[in-house]
Amino acid sequence: MRGGRKNLKRATEEKHVTLQDGQSIMQVVSLRGSNIIEVEDACGNKSLALFPAKFRKSVWIKLGSFVVVDVTGKEKALESGSKVACLVSQVLFYDQVRELQKTPEWPESFKSAMVDELNETSASQQENELEDSDDDGLPPLEANTNRLRPFELQADEDSESCSDTDDD
């Protein structure tokens, strides 16, 4: 394993994340393609961020994930006309998010969002457990009309015809 990937893997395994100057925690709103993602900060401001190529094939993100974004050059990038204003410096995993929620660095608006998501998922899990049944609310299967005779009927008739010839 090369040095860059090894250091990246080591950084993802750390539980304690410290934010440096110019870094903030943001939530992924949408994936735009070509290593560009749309992120939202604690105030609700959305901006485009570059997902560096060093994360390619090593770290994946999905909608709702939390990332640490470097926003030091945001004003200069916006003044120059660039739409991409931030750079993702780290992807936060579940354990890291749990540790950060206990610190004052975690934004309050994300705390309420996490509580709402947890309540929604637990409620949907309870509904799924209550609705578990054999048919799952689906209509019964229809016969395949593309075949002249179903396979089971052919096998039954063949066995009967063989027994009829044996009796003679």
The architecture (CATH level 2) of 19-111 comes to: Beta Barrel (2.40)
Domain layout of the chain by residue ranges: 19-111
Across the chain, mean pLDDT equals 77
* pLDDT at position 95: 87
Q: For residue range 68-104, what is the model confidence (pLDDT) as tens digits?
A: 999 888 888 888 888 899 999 999 988 888 888 888 8
Which residue has 């990332």 as its token pair?
67
Determine the pLDDT at residue 33. Answer: 86
Looking at residue 88, the DSSP 8-state letter turns out to be E
Phi, psi of 94 (to 5 degrees): -55, -50
pLDDT confidence of residue 158: 55
Angstrom CA distances, 150 to 54, 142, 157, stand at 55, 12, 11
Please report, rounded to a whole number, the percentage of residues in the chain having pLDDT higher than 70.
Answer: 67
The DSSP annotation for 21-62 comes to TTEEEEEEEEEEETTEEEEE-TTS-EEEEE--GGGTTT----
At residue 31, the pLDDT reads 93
Residue 56: pLDDT band with limits 50, 70, 90: confident
Q: How sure is the predictor about 153, in pLDDT bands with cuts at 50, 70 and 90?
A: low
Q: Is the pLDDT of residue 13 over 60?
A: yes
What's the rounded mean pLDDT across residues 105-127?
A: 62
**Of the given ranges (22-26, 62-66, 132-136), which has the lowest mean pLDDT?**
132-136
